[in-house]
Structure 1
Amino acid sequence: MSKELFAAIEQHDTARVKALLAGGADPNEPQQEWPGLLPLQVAIHALADGGELSVLLALLEHGADVNAWDAERDRTPLLEAVCENQLAAVDVLVKAGAEPNVRSSEGDTPLRACAELGNVEMASLLLGAGATQTINDWGGLTGCTALGIAISRLDIPMMRLLLDAGADPEAPDDNRQPTRDRLPPRDDSDPQKWDAAFELLGGAKDRMPL
């Protein structure tokens, strides 16, 4: 029945998904083939090409574990939803009790992944759900904190949100350097953004090394 459930999810057959779940299909059994995604994760991917949010809700109603890891122990459904930039799914999962401070196999957290996307609305949702516990943690391929990612991209709205939520510009990254040092050199490509970022960091700390 597991293969039928995944097929119904991928085919966007919501009625069939609900019927299979009502008939005893396991909402927590991962795919047998690599990478062993969970039904919730497959449903999240399906949203990108016409899948319905009601499939996620049906899976949760029938006992899908909102904090389960896939077979590779790489991502939870929340990490999947954030990385796929699915705001509505993130909202559903958070309301269902998804843990916002998990770390992927590469050391990414939902908040850091969100900073990579530059999705301020999603970041605000995660922070409201308790992602502040890992706000100063570094990890992932960049070795940055969420604030470090925003600084390196001169993402002023994200910087402001994170700083207001308690992100520390002095928190070390993987190089044991202060997060504020992720500010790129000032050039002529976008001096206004650089100045705004510098001012934000200066406002969070009285002085900043040049």
Structure 2
Amino acid sequence: MTLPWGRRYLMCPPEHFGVLYEINPWMHREVLVDADRAREQWANLKATLEQAGAEIEVLEAAPDQPDIVFTANAGIVNGRQFVPSRFMHPEREGEVPFDVAWFEQHGFTVDRLPDHVHHEGAGDALPFGNVLLSGYRFRSDAASHAYLSRLTGAAVRSVELADERLYHLDLTFCPLDGRRAIVAPDGWDRYGRRVVEALVPELLVL
């Protein structure tokens, strides 16, 4: 399995970004998005990553899909394989055809999870060493982890998320290199903490 981290990124400009529905504790429809500021911040992030040596690919924004800007949630990339997400909330299901089309057009093989499980891509699964650390509870099912392992060939370690405000694994875990990760362990249950502590030699705790 090939799980490089931090070299290539897929980004989507916030042309249609907005809070059109509420599916996490941070979303409030009465809070309007400053579209100009969002575009400026996106451009600054893209430029910063490129200056740091990253390679950026761009997914075109899609009307009526405000959250497609969160491209980590699109799925799992394993070499030239793409496993698209099965979103928990129906509001986000419309993103999938756009994500799949981009990866197919760029020569990736698409392998899908079964319809009856939910998993939200790299939002809930991040590589560390030769292991895929995968969260579950709020957006992804624990049952999806066995299917992910079969599709990708990766050893998957499960972490139960414990705080609905930290509803994706990537809000609590950010790998830096082969030894270190930035973590927010209050977002995991007790067993999940033991899993991460056993996997990562050096934890930088927030």
Q: TM-score normalized by structure 2?
A: 0.26
Greater relative contact order, per chain length (Cα 8 Å cut-off, separation 6+): 2
Choose between structure 1 and 2: higher helix proportion: 1
Bigger-Rg structure (1/2)? 1
Q: TM-score normalized by structure 1?
A: 0.26
